[in-house]
């Protein structure tokens, strides 16, 4: 009997956490209890930043991360989070197993961890505000907005906004007191953080995609029997597929709930998306290439090669 | 022996002073970030990160000097009530436990720095490798180890390390603000 | 039960003479070596624990208080309060409560509050006819406000460990702090009413404009807390700008701060921070051990088995905290208990901010409960009185703190109203 301890930062109610919990049960079932996945959600076992060294050096066997957490250590991992680069659902559904995914998995392997599965997290962001909705690019001018990370913040600066990094719990009071004029978050996070209580307007846009993934310690993985690896792999492939639908459903439900709670929601039209893309994508791509001169171009090529149908 | 103690003291004080410089830098950095945000409307997110690193620096650099002054708090009422021989044994156990922790941190810190260099782990700030900050840990731990071992040595040969707490010392022996409770 | 065993083992190590941070490292290290055979990413765990933006607030608030104390700005506080209250029944003692309240809003430390105010106030109170017991009690009790009224070092630590907003916690401490201050003042009013300045004594304090100067002391907490309340600053930014503001008061208005004071203050603040943060670093591995041993789950199960209600659980915790407060200091109590019971707060639907204030009240109690009662040691040090005499002076204040705790358990709004008004929490 083997145990795989899996550490992640999502709260148990998060849609990624639910799929990971189901994955753990699936593995137990498939293996008849021979392989046990013990999940530690919400940073119970290790902080988000300690997951990678913890797994790479064998403190525990597995962890989940959000793609952009690899920051400048593996800058190529940011590729899906470039604004309007990879937000069509049919292409996202083909990402697991694609050459682009394999390319990133190779980079992870060079950093001493083996990728196990890709968990699609979001492609729908919401720009929230109180005074007036954020629809045209001019609406960004002079706006103090919550940033996400230094790479994608280039998009916001490019349209005249002033992004500032802020930990999650501080955002709501900052929005309420006017320290921030606008919020930027995942649609389902807007529900769980009760943005509808403090923000009147929301623009839902396919702004960027966030992919989470689960990786394991390669030495531990190679020490498993082929049969044990088979149980885990099979459950992982199923989790990847299940996650696609769960995330899409969660996002759709979230938009409905924000409306029901009284927020005025504007869903971005394709024409508006094209306008935003034209202004916001290139500055991020430029910064992305600075961080990853070779791998950056390669990862974009491979991503673009994933067909829409 | 006196020479060794003075040399260790000089080293610890120097590190402590550098730690104090880190505190001042922290203050200036936070002041600068607030100023940029409110006066020029230009947030500087990198300052948050760097301020956190300065905290790591001030802890690691000032911990040895704090140890040299026996300022790391514990429960001292038991030690105060026993005779001088037992008190000396308790002090020896105390400094040896610190030396052991320092040795563990030194080894763990060294291993961490090696790993980060091998993998090429970077911080969120473009161009700053993680190990630059992580290196503060083995450096501080090494210094802490030296200080604690020197104190242990003095206690073993029957000499009194500087700042060794005395039974008659009271809370006023230290600065009033030194207890953060 | 694992939990109680671990606590007992840790306390034993401390009583053998180990510094807190060393005991906090070595005990879990030993346990994990035995259970797991090692801790592979120890370095990252420790450094990850120290590298947090919120922790920046600790050295900065520490420095702010150093500047105000070394610059002798706070020395005017008792005189000013006395000047205003000297004709009032019990005013001699109530001035101490007032001075403690304002000093508490400048420093994050109760010991510093009792010491700074006590040094000036005790001789005055005795001179104007207060009983020794009354004078000692009001300083020891009033001093405990230091950690309840923001800024508060233990609250920063609690916020960090539980990932609660420190701004919300600070705001939550204000009204309970003022409530306790009013309770203390009322007690002095009732028991020490006879102590007052003679009518014919000229009020030197008022003439010299001390009260006006003391307004500068008062302006610092207004600046810091107002900034946090209005959302202008995060707690860390408030600590930084507050320190710069304190520097301005001490250097430009009082002109009492020397370069030497500044140099010593920075070094002392740095070493104290190093001491506290090493304990926090040690707690990283302690918390990791608790998770590995599944202590939180065990406790959750225990509470479920006992069928404890929310109030029942809170009362049980307050009793446990009181017992721990007899033998440990604040930082250790927070670090030792919170990783184990944090999941329980979620399960029982207990607001983390509310619990943080309750915890702080129990830490205040720890500061005046013998045998390890720092505020009492402070009084003994100032006055040379016997510890027995000082101990006796404190019982009414312990009762009042217990009453305050009960009120807060019954009416969480006392703590939660202000942070909610500022937009924190649901
Ligand atoms: Na305070
Ligand atoms: Na106590």
* pTM recorded for the entire structure: 0.87
**Cis before C21? omega within 30:** no
Q: Which residue's entry shows tokens 């196990």?
A: A116
Q: Is C389 inside a domain boundary?
A: yes
**Angle CA C78–C57–C418, to nearest 5:** 70
Partner residue opposite B55 with nearest CB, options C50, C328, C377: C50
Mutation target among A170, A180, A197, A261 for the C interface, most CBs of C within 10 A: A170
The Cα C122–Cα C114 span in angstroms is: 10
Q: Is C303 inside a domain boundary?
A: yes
The Cα B138–Cα B141 span in angstroms is: 5
**Angle CA C212–C218–C220, to nearest 5:** 125
Q: Is C17 inside a domain boundary?
A: no
Q: Is C1 inside a domain boundary?
A: no
pLDDT value of residue A50:
85
For C252, the enclosing helix (H) or strand (E) is none
pLDDT in tens, C282-295: 888 898 898 888 88
* Domain residue limits at C266: 54-421
Structure tokens at A221: 């993985």
The Cα A153–Cα A174 span in angstroms is: 18
Output the CA C327–ligand 1 centroid distance in Å: 23
**Residues C416 and C172: beta-carbon distance below 8 Å:** yes
Across the range A275-285, mean pLDDT stands at 97
Partner residue opposite B55 with nearest CB, options C56, C272, C371: C56
Q: Is the pLDDT of residue B79 over 80?
A: no
For C304-314, letters b (16+ CB in 10 Å) and e give eeeebeeeebb
How many domains does chain B contain in total?
1
Q: Which residue has the higher pLDDT, A24 or B83?
A: A24
Residues of C with Cβ-Cβ distance to B140 under 8 angstroms: none
pLDDT in tens, C387-419: 889 999 999 999 999 999 999 999 999 999 999
Non-local CB neighbours of A147 within 8 Å, separated by 6+ positions: A153, A156, A163, A164, A165, A166, A184, B45
Residues of A with Cβ-Cβ distance to C168 under 8 angstroms: 173
pLDDT in tens, A230-261: 999 999 999 999 999 999 999 999 999 999 99
Contact of B123 with chain C, judged by CB distance below 8 Å, is answered with no
The Cα C60–Cα C246 span in angstroms is: 11
Across the range B11-22, mean pLDDT stands at 98
Q: Is the pLDDT of residue B99 over 80?
A: yes
Handedness of CA B29, B35, B38, B40 (dihedral sign): negative
* Domain residue limits at B91: 2-180
**Residues C160 and C58: beta-carbon distance below 8 Å:** no
pLDDT value of residue C1:
77
For C391, the enclosing helix (H) or strand (E) is helix C387-392
Q: Is A90 exposed, middle or buried (0-12, 13-18, 19+ CB in 10 A)?
A: exposed
Mutation target among C11, C19, C151 for the B interface, most CBs of B within 10 A: C19
Non-local CB neighbours of A308 within 8 Å, separated by 6+ positions: A88, A90, A91
Task: Point out which residues pair with A35 in neighbouring strands.
Answer: A2
Output the CA C293–ligand 2 centroid distance in Å: 29
State the chains in contact with B (3 or more Cβ–Cβ pairs under 8 Å): A, C
Output the CA C141–ligand 1 centroid distance in Å: 14
Q: Is C5 inside a domain boundary?
A: no
Handedness of CA A87, A13, C165, B178 (dihedral sign): negative
- Per-residue pLDDT of chain C in tens (426 residues, 90 and over written 9): 788 899 999 999 998 999 999 999 999 999 999 988 877 788 988 998 898 888 999 999 999 999 999 888 888 888 889 888 888 899 999 999 999 999 999 998 898 899 999 999 999 999 998 999 999 999 999 999 999 999 999 999 999 888 888 999 999 999 999 999 999 999 999 999 888 777 767 666 555 677 778 888 889 999 999 998 888 888 899 999 999 999 999 988 888 889 999 999 999 999 999 999 999 998 888 988 988 888 888 888 888 899 889 999 999 999 999 988 888 878 889 988 998 899 899 889 999 999 999 999 999 998 898 777 888 888 988 898 988 899 999 999 999 999 999 999 999 999 999 999 887 764
pLDDT value of residue B174:
66
Q: Is C64 inside a domain boundary?
A: yes
- 3-state class (DSSP) for residue C416: helix
Task: Point out which residues pair with B122 in neighbouring strands.
Answer: B129
Q: Which residue of B has its CA nearest to A292?
A: B126
Q: Is the pLDDT of residue A146 over 50?
A: yes
Q: Is A266 exposed, middle or buried (0-12, 13-18, 19+ CB in 10 A)?
A: middle
* Residues composing chain C: 426
CB-CB under 8 Å, B134 with C19: no
Structure tokens at B85: 């021989």
The Cα C111–Cα C94 span in angstroms is: 19
How many domains does chain C contain in total?
1
**Angle CA A278–A283–A288, to nearest 5:** 125
Pairing of the two strands A144-146 and A114-122: unpaired
Non-local CB neighbours of C209 within 8 Å, separated by 6+ positions: none
The Cα B7–Cα B24 span in angstroms is: 26
* Residues composing chain B: 181
Contact of B140 with chain C, judged by CB distance below 8 Å, is answered with no
Residues of C with Cβ-Cβ distance to B75 under 8 angstroms: 11, 14-15, 20, 327-328, 372
Q: Is the pLDDT of residue B2 over 70?
A: yes
Q: What is the average pLDDT value for chain A, to the nearest integer?
A: 94
pLDDT value of residue A9:
93
Output the CA B67–ligand 1 centroid distance in Å: 27
pLDDT value of residue C426:
47
**Hey, which bits of chain A come out as E strands?**
2-7, 35-40, 62-66, 114-122, 125-129, 144-146, 162-164, 182-186, 201-205, 210-216, 264-267
**Residues A213 and A67: beta-carbon distance below 8 Å:** yes
Mutation target among A51, A52, A53, A296 for the B interface, most CBs of B within 10 A: A53
Q: Which residue of A has its CA nearest to C339?
A: A44
CB-CB under 8 Å, B177 with C62: yes
The CA-based dihedral angle spanning residues B94, B100, B104, B109, taken in that order and rounded to the nearest 10 degrees: 70
Output the CA C303–ligand 2 centroid distance in Å: 26
Output the CA C400–ligand 1 centroid distance in Å: 19
What was the ipTM of the complex prediction? 0.84
Ligand nearest to the CA of B177: 1
Non-local CB neighbours of C397 within 8 Å, separated by 6+ positions: C137, C138, C140, C141, C144, C184, C187, C368
- A214 dihedral zone (left: phi>0; alpha: psi -120 to 50; beta): beta
Q: How confident is the model at residue A46 (pLDDT cuts 50, 70, 90)?
A: confident
């Amino acid at each position: 009997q083997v145990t795989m301890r899996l550490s992640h930062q999502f709260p148990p109610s998060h849609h990624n956490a639910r799929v990971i919990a189901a994955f753990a049960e699936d593995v137990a079932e498939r293996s008849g209890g021979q392989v046990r996945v013990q999940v530690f959600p919400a940073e119970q076992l290790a902080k988000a930043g300690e997951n990678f060294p913890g797994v790479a050096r064998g403190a525990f066997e597995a962890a989940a991360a959000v793609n952009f957490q690899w920051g400048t250590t593996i800058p190529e991992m940011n590729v899906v989070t470039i604004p309007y680069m990879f937000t069509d659902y049919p292409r996202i559904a083909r990402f697991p197993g694609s050459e682009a995914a394999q390319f990133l998995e190779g980079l992870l392997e060079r950093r001493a961890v083996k990728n196990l599965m890709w968990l699609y997290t979001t492609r729908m962001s919401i720009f929230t505000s109180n005074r007036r909705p954020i629809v045209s690019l001019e609406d960004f001018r002079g706006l103090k907005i919550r940033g996400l990370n230094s790479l994608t913040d280039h998009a916001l600066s490019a349209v005249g906004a002033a992004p500032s990094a802020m930990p999650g719990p501080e955002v709501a009071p900052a929005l309420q007191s006017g320290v921030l004029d606008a919020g930027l978050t995942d649609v389902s996070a807007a529900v769980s953080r009760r943005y509808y209580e403090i923000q009147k307007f929301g623009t839902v846009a396919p702004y960027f995609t966030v992919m989470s993934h689960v990786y394991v310690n390669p030495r531990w993985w190679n020490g498993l029997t082929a049969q044990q690896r088979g149980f885990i792999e099979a459950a992982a492939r199923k989790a990847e597929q299940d996650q696609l639908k769960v995330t899409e459903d969660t996002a759709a439900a979230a938009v409905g709930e924000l409306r029901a709670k009284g927020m005025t929601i504007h869903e971005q039209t394709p024409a508006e998306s094209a306008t935003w893309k034209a202004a916001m994508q290139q500055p991020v791509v430029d910064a992305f290439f600075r961080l990853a001169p070779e791998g950056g171009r390669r990862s974009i090529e491979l991503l673009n090669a994933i067909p829409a149908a | 022996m006196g020479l060794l103690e003075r040399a260790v003291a000089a080293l610890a004080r120097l590190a402590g002073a550098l730690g104090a410089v880190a505190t001042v830098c922290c203050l200036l950095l936070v002041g600068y970030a607030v100023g940029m945000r409110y006066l020029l409307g230009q947030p500087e997110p990198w300052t948050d990160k760097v301020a956190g690193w300065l905290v790591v620096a001030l802890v690691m650099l000032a911990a040895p000097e704090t140890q040299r002054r026996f300022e790391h708090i514990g429960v001292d009422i038991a030690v105060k009530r026993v005779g001088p021989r037992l008190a000396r044994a308790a002090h020896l156990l105390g400094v040896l436990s610190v030396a052991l922790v320092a040795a563990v941190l030194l080894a763990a810190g060294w291993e961490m720095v090696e790993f980060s260099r091998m993998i090429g782990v970077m911080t969120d700030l473009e161009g700053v490798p993680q190990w630059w900050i992580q290196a503060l840990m083995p450096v501080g731990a090494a210094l802490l180890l030296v200080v604690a071992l020197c104190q242990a040595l003095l206690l073993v040969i029957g000499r009194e390390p500087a700042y060794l707490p005395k039974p008659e010392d009271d809370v006023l022996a230290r600065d009033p603000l030194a207890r953060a409770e | 039960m694992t939990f109680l065993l671990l606590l007992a083992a840790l306390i034993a190590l401390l009583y053998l003479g180990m510094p807190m941070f060393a005991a906090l490292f070595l005990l879990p290290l030993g346990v994990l070596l035995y259970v797991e055979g090692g801790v592979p990413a120890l370095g990252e765990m420790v450094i990850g624990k120290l590298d947090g933006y919120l922790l920046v607030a600790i050295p900065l608030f520490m420095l702010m208080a150093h500047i105000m104390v070394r610059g002798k700005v706070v020395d005017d506080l008792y005189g000013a309060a006395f000047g205003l209250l000297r004709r009032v029944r019990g005013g001699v003692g109530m001035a101490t409560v007032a001075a403690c309240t304002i000093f508490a809003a400048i420093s994050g430390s109760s010991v510093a509050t009792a010491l700074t105010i006590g040094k000036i106030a005790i001789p005055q109170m005795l001179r104007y006819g207060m009983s020794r017991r009354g004078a000692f009690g009001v300083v020891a009790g009033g001093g405990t406000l230091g950690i309840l009224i923001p800024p508060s070092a233990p609250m920063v630590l609690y916020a960090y460990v539980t990932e609660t907003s420190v701004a919300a916690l600070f705001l939550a401490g204000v009204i309970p702090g003022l409530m306790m201050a009013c309770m203390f003042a009322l007690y002095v009013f009732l028991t020490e009413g006879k102590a007052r300045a003679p009518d014919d004594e000229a009020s030197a304090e008022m003439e010299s404009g001390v009260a006006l100067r003391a307004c500068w002391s008062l302006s610092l907490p207004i600046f810091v807390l107002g900034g946090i309340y209005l959302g202008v600053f995060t707690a860390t930014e408030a600590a930084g700008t507050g320190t710069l503001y304190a520097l301005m008061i001490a250097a430009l208005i009082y002109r009492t701060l020397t370069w030497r004071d500044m140099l010593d203050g920075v070094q002392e603040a740095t070493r104290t921070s190093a001491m506290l943060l090493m304990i926090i670093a040690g707690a990283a591995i302690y918390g990791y051990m608790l998770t590995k041993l599944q202590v939180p789950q065990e406790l959750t199960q225990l509470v479920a088995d006992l069928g404890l209600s929310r109030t029942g659980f809170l009362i049980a915790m307050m009793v446990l905290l009181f017992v721990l407060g007899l033998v440990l200091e604040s930082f250790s109590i927070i670090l030792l208990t919170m990783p184990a019971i944090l999941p329980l707060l979620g399960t029982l639907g207990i607001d983390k901010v509310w619990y943080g204030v309750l915890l702080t009240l129990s830490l205040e109690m720890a500061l005046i409960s013998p045998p390890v009662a720092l505020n009492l040691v402070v009084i003994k040090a100032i006055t040379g009185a016997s510890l027995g005499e000082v101990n006796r002076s404190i019982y009414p204040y312990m009762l009042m703190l217990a009453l305050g705790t009960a009120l807060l358990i019954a009416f969480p709004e006392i703590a939660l109203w202000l942070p909610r008004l500022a937009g924190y929490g649901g």
